[in-house]
Amino acid sequence: MNYTVDGIDFLILSIIAVFTGAYINRVVPVLKRNNIPEAVTGGLIFSLVIGVISSQWGWSIEFDMRMRDILLLVFFTTIGLTAKFRLLLAGGKSLVILLLISMAFLILQNATGVLIATSFGGEPAYGLFVGSISLAGGHGTAIAWGAQAAKAGLEYAEALGITFATFGLIMGGIIGGPIAGRLISANNLKPEGEIETIKTVSEVKEQYHPTKLDDILKTALIIAICLQVGDLVNRYLFSAGVLLPGFLTAMLMAIGITNAAELFKFNISERAVSVTNNLSLQIFLVMSLISMQFAALSGGVLLAVIVMCMQVTLITLFTMWVVFRLMGRDYDAAVMASGFAGLGLGATPVAIGNMNAITNRFGPSPKAFLVVPLVGAFFIDIANALILKVFLALPMMEGGF
């Protein structure tokens, strides 16, 4: 029996899953104590239930993902609306450091993957699919590189990539909170008071006034313009042979608009942007988790779990001993550590979800919310592609794919 969950039904199911995750986090202290995002808790539970139903009754359940894809664009657009150049200058050094750290980790992650693949008697190139192609890259990267690898004779590459991208998405949302929580408690860290000096008087006043309908409509209009113009730019670039992800052009439009607005003293409601950001993130995450096909991942699951445990151990140690220390050993560094864990195993929305869970409990970290999304959205995909090309050029890869 085939059943398709359409857009509205999927949205209803996703919102219920978020509420379910929030309730479970409240009644299960270990989840709240370890800062597990509510969307991850609810999404995993619903995904497991759907997986059991599919396997027991032989149902094939598909989801209409169009709304989720739009929410991803909205999320990155709101990230762009918060990326003001004055804030970027304030976090410029941290941005460069985190990018260099990320590149070092991508090399380490791929080296570990290749070592694992050769240890199990597989083709070394398969190691890249249990490395940064699937983990730091995510589902889109795994599918794109998997299709290319299949043409070169690695027939299981795409399935392997999707499997590990799925496990990475789960584990990235699970380990980020506990890592940051441990760093914060062990080092007695608190948010820096001086971060408030970055804000203007109007931005501080806005925190104490309710969000007006005009502000919400203005924010919705700006986001819609960014999505539409970004799509037009993407079509033009595509016709010219330049391929860019849709979220990147939408975010670039948003960065241009928010900095132009600041230059001409045009106010964009930070609260309306923040609410839209959190809403789109939570529903995107839970939709992504619910739509995962656990039944399809059952084959070779034990081996996948063993390999995933090795990669999770690697990023946990790297995050706590390298990322936290090099980023300054302060509260912002701990929040960025939680984001890095999500970024290195899952995707930028997972990283933001981790940081949201931490800051909702311990306090704000504007620096982390500026640096991590910029690294995740702008730089890590480019760095990942370059590093993968280097690995594929190695003699042991026999020409790569």
The least confident of 119-123, 161-165, 180-184, 224-228 is: 161-165
Buried b (16+ CB within 10 A) or exposed e, 185-204: eeeebebbeebeeeeeeeee
- The verdict on residue 6 lying in a domain is no
The DSSP code for 207 is T
Cα–chain center distance at 114 = 24
> What average pLDDT does range 138-143 have in this prediction?
69
Look at the alpha carbons of 99, 100, 106, 108 in this order and tell me if their dihedral is positive or negative: negative
Question: What is the DSSP secondary structure assignment for residue 246, as one 8-state letter?
Answer: H
Residue 343: both structure tokens together: 């970024």
Which has more pLDDT, 83 or 26? 26
Please report the DSSP string for 347-361 in residue order. -HHHHHHHHHHHHHH
How many Å apart are CA 195 and CA 347, to the nearest integer?
26
- Gap between the Cα atoms of 59 and 82, Å rounded: 43
- The DSSP code sequence of 46-105 is HHHHHHHHHHHH--EEEE--HHHHHHHHHHHHHHHHT--HHHHHHTHHHHHHHHHHHHHH
Total structural domains within the chain: 1
Mean pLDDT of the region 336-351 = 89
Q: What is the pLDDT of residue 318?
A: 97
Query: Region 41-46: what's the mean pLDDT?
Result: 88
Cα separation, 342 vs 360, in Å, equals 17
In degrees and rounded to multiples of 5, residue 62 shows phi and psi of -115, 155
Q: Determine the average pLDDT of the residues in 297-322.
A: 82
pLDDT at 15: 95
Q: Which two tokens stand for residue 239?
A: 């016709």
Query: Apex CA 256: angle with CA 279 and CA 338, to 5°?
Result: 45
pLDDT in tens, 84-99: 777 667 667 888 899 9
Among 19-23, 185-189, 260-264, the least confident range? 260-264
Tell me what the mean pLDDT of segment 136-161 comes to.
74
pLDDT band at 400; cut points 50, 70, 90: low
pLDDT for the residue 195: 44
Query: Higher confidence at residue 11 or residue 288?
Result: 11
Task: Give me the amino acid identity at 38.
Answer: E
Q: Would you state the pLDDT for residue 379?
A: 77
What angle is formed at CA 162 by the lines to CA 74 and CA 19, rounded to 5 degrees? 50
Residue 76's domain comprises 67-397
In a domain, 55, yes or no: no
274-302: pLDDT as tens digits: 889 888 878 987 888 888 765 555 555 56
> Is 26 among the domain residues?
no
pTM passes above 0.85:
no
Phi/psi class of residue 363: alpha, beta or left (left: φ > 0; alpha: ψ in -120 to 50)?
A: left
Q: 41 in a domain, yes or no?
A: no
Q: Decide if pLDDT at 58 tops 80.
A: no
- Token pair 């890249």 is at which residue? 128
Q: State residue 263's pLDDT score.
A: 86
CB distance 290 to 40 below 8 Å: no
Burial 123-147 (b: 16+ CB within 10 A, else e): bbbbbbbbbbbbbbbbbebbbebbe
CB-based contacts of 168: which residues, under 8 Å, 6+ apart?
Answer: 134, 135, 138, 308, 311, 345, 346
Q: Most distant CA pair in the chain: distance in Å?
A: 63
Region at 188 (left for phi over 0; alpha for psi -120 to 50; beta for the rest): left
Most confident of 11-25, 159-173, 273-287: 11-25
pLDDT (tens digit, 9 = 90+) per residue, 206-259? 554 567 888 889 999 999 999 999 889 888 888 887 666 677 788 889 989 999
192 found inside a domain: yes
**Is 9 part of any domain?**
no
52 occurs within a structural domain: no
197 or 14, which is more confident = 14
| pLDDT at residue 202 greater than cutoff 60 | no
> Which of the pair, 185 or 148, is modelled with greater confidence?
185
